[in-house]
Amino acid sequence: MPAQVAPKKTLPIGVELGSSAAKLVQLRGTSDGVELSAFGAVTIPSELRADLPRRLAFLSEHLPSVLKSERFKGRKCIIALPAESSFVRHVRVRPTDTRSLESAVRRVARDELPYPVHEAVLRHIVAGDVLRHGEMWKEVIIVAVPNRTMDAYLTMTSRAGLEVVGVNVEPIAIVECFTGLFDMHEPADRAVLYLDLGYDGMQVVIAKGTNVVFARNLQLLTPSAGKDKEKQEGTDSSPDILSDAQIQDLTEEVEKCLRYHAFVYHTNMVDHLIFTGDRAVDLQLCRQLAENLNLTAQIGDPLRGLQGAKEQMQGGYTPRCPSLAVGVGLSLAGRDM
């Protein structure tokens, strides 16, 4: 059942801090469900995207004008950092009577992280129980961000006039968006595959209902030399068109993820695919990926589940907005605050 929000209650601003843009979404409750209160975006110039300090300085300067012009209510927000800033890894742990799950995760993370665990903000998602060596272990997704990176983003949001009341991860926000807005009539043992297609990478997320059971970040291949030159010169802000070879490479990587899920959970019950992200407006790309994976697919459009979306769009026409899924999920996550 879709999430209920008290009428007229304004939720925190969901701020997706991507590498190419920052997207802001704010929801509020109505007597019939949830409506879109405000949304906006700041596009990051291509020449700043690989330079984190300059990128954050740009955002701290330009976010306040968007907050004001788009009439966001309050300044409390829930943020999600870009996938490039997060280290995501599946591990298996066996909690004992003397060690809590959290301490067991930290112990395993010491051998997995590319930096010392004490220098990172570490969170984990319990994906499920798995049988290993005749014993039940926990399949856990660890998500880590270096302390210095987290501090840099928190400093930026503070300078932009935002008050961070929560930090979430994109996979959870994506699943929160669709399970929170729509009746997902799926059997309890059936998983849904979400592919979040960004400009620079793709996130593979598998969820059973609201429970994320698999997450992985995939980087897109380097675009052609001509595109690289255009981006360096700052003359091109659109994503490059992926070649057939690149799409095939992505297909193979997603298939590896599906095989891992099937092996760990002894199930092949993934037969539905939802596309989100900036590139999900490319219907040809989505169609080709869905055909390659042999899955029934749809474009994930959070605006279909929101009241008042048409009134927020110019001319009363509501285009598909799969790129707002993370922001919607972030805002929706604040309904109990």
Q: Would you list the DSSP string of 173-198?
A: HHHHHHHHHS-----TT-EEEEEEE-
Confidence band of 229 (pLDDT split at 50, 70, 90): very low
Q: What is the pLDDT of residue 308?
A: 58
Confidence band for 197, pLDDT divided at 50, 70 and 90: very high
Task: Render pLDDT for 82-141 as a digit per residue (tens, 0 to 9).
Answer: 988 999 999 999 866 456 888 889 999 999 999 999 999 999 999 998 888 788 899 999
- The answer on pLDDT for 223 being more than 50 is no
pLDDT at 313: 53
> What sign for the dihedral angle of Cα 108, 110, 114, 115?
positive
Residue 8 has pLDDT above 90, yes or no: no
The beta strands (E) that lie in the chain are given as 13-17, 21-30, 33-43, 76-80, 87-93, 120-132, 135-146, 163-168, 191-197, 201-208, 211-219, 270-276, 296-299
- Residue 188 has a pLDDT of 67
pLDDT at 173 over 90: yes
What stretch(es) of the chain map to CATH 3.30.1490.300? Answer: 87-145
For residue 241, what pLDDT is reported? 82
pLDDT reported for residue 267: 81
Determine the pLDDT at residue 242: 85
Where is pLDDT greater, at 335 or 188? 335
- What sign has the CA pseudo-torsion 50, 52, 58, 63? positive
Residue 3 pLDDT: 67
Is the per-residue pLDDT at 40 higher than 50? yes
Among candidates 180, 156, 178, 257, which has minimal Cα distance to 214? 257
pTM: 0.89
- Residues above pLDDT 90, as percent of the chain: 65
Q: What angle do CA 116, 117, 120 make, to 5 degrees?
A: 100
Contact 153, 17 (CB under 8 A): yes
Across residues 44-52, what is the average pLDDT? 94
**Predicted pLDDT of residue 222:** 47
Return the pLDDT at 185.
65
Question: Which of 52-61, 204-213, 219-228 has the lowest average pLDDT?
Answer: 219-228
Identity at 209, one-letter amino acid code = G
Q: Where in the chain is the domain with CATH 3.30.420.40?
A: 13-86+146-332
Q: State yes or no: pLDDT of 1 exceeds 70.
A: no
Give tens-digit pLDDT for 280-331. Answer: 999 999 999 999 999 999 999 998 878 655 455 555 444 578 999 999 999 9
Model confidence pLDDT, tens digit, residues 235-263: 344 567 888 999 999 999 999 999 999 99
- Average pLDDT over the chain, rounded to an integer: 87
At 234 the pLDDT is: 42
CATH number of 87-145: 3.30.1490.300
Tell me the C-alpha distance between 236 and 158, whole Å. Answer: 30
Distances in whole angstroms, Cα of residue 10 to Cα of each of 7, 135, 149: 9, 46, 29
Contact (Cβ atoms closer than 8 angstroms) between residue 126 and residue 137: no
**Is the domain defined by 13-86+146-332 classed in CATH 3.30.420.40?**
yes
Q: Residue 306: what pLDDT?
A: 80
Residue 221: per-residue pLDDT: 52
Instruction: Kindly state the average pLDDT of the residues 132-154.
Output: 93
- Between residues 20 and 227, the one the model is more confident about: 20
Statement: residue 230 has pLDDT above 70: no
- Give me 190's structure tokens: 């059936």
Q: What percent of the chain has pLDDT over 70?
A: 86
pLDDT at 317: 46
Q: Please report the pLDDT score of residue 159 as a whole number.
A: 98
